[in-house]
Amino acid sequence: MLLTVDAGNTQIKAAVFERDIIIHNEIIPYELWKNKIKNILKNFSQIQNIAVISVGKLQNDDFSSLQSEVKITFINQNAKVPFINRYSTPHTLGVDRMVLASGAVLSYPNTNRLVIDMGTCITYDFINDNNEYLGGAIAPGIRLRYEVLHNYTAKLPLLNKSIPLSTIGNSTEQSIHSGVINGVCYEIDGFIEAYSLEYKNFIIILTGGDADFLAKRLKNTIFANPNFLLESLYKTFQYNQND
């Protein structure tokens, strides 16, 4: 068994894999992470390895107390990947985006791929059918957009995400929902249309915490998989074990 841990900007996601299948997964608040991980190790005693990526608050040393119980592998920019990195600043590519690109190549061979990750930020990552990572885009995520409207204005309320009743908001709250949710959908569809002008055929993988929330509102055909980063981390770990 393998435990994968994705320490993101706002929360931690963990999944236990057995023979390529997720048999347990959960979202963990940062303040509870160590006890929660220890509970997972206790409940799944056959776990022999933990694969970790972190773009958030956790550092390698934070896991030192667990190293006596299980082998820990930190996936970073030095890991072996199944693609050629064409980013003009390759060492600045976030490890989460690197792992998503690896997962796209390993899961969908011999095709062009666009991975859209709906997390704190919305990231777009394009890998062509020659397994070249070309880059993409980074934009504010849904929650950030709601927070910006509230924090940088005097009177706009902070709302929880909600599907707007109409494109034309008939109240301040509905106008905010329309601006945030419809705006994100138009942005994603616009990026997909822009990529399609250069690449006629590519698959689209939508992942992250807001993937299911938005999937049915997009006009393009996509593979919605909220756990794709954890699955990609699993595949990247296995890929690095096969040297």
Digit-coded pLDDT (tens) for 6-64: 998 889 999 999 989 999 999 999 999 999 999 999 999 999 999 999 987 888 788 88
Query: CA separation (Å) from 46 to 17, 88, 99?
Result: 11, 42, 25
Among the listed residues 6, 20, 61, 96, the single catalytic one is 96
State pLDDT tens for residues 102-128. Answer: 999 999 999 999 999 999 999 999 999
Tell me if 33 sits within 8 A of 44, measured CB to CB.
no
Kind and range of the H or E element at 59? none
Structure tokens at 179: 């601006």
Tell me if 195 sits within 8 A of 114, measured CB to CB.
yes
**Is 243's pLDDT higher than 70?**
no
**156 exposure class (CB count in 10 Å sphere: 0-12, 13-18, 19+):** middle
pLDDT at 64: 83
* CA–CA gap between residue 62 and residue 60 (Å, rounded): 5
Query: CA separation (Å) from 114 to 23, 43, 63?
Result: 27, 36, 33
Count of residues in the chain = 243
**Token pair 């601006």 is at which residue?**
179
Among candidate residues 114, 121, 116, 130, the one with its CA nearest the CA of residue 148: 121
* CA–CA gap between residue 114 and residue 96 (Å, rounded): 15
Phi and psi at residue 237, to the nearest 5°: -60, -50
Tell me if 60 sits within 8 A of 48, measured CB to CB.
no
DSSP state of 156: P
pLDDT at 24: 97
**Token pair 């399609």 is at which residue?**
196
Q: Annotated catalytic, 189?
A: no
Report the SS3 class of residue 41: helix
State pLDDT tens for residues 172-224. Answer: 999 999 999 999 999 999 999 999 999 989 999 999 989 989 888 888 778 99
pTM for the structure as a whole: 0.93
* CA–CA gap between residue 83 and residue 113 (Å, rounded): 12
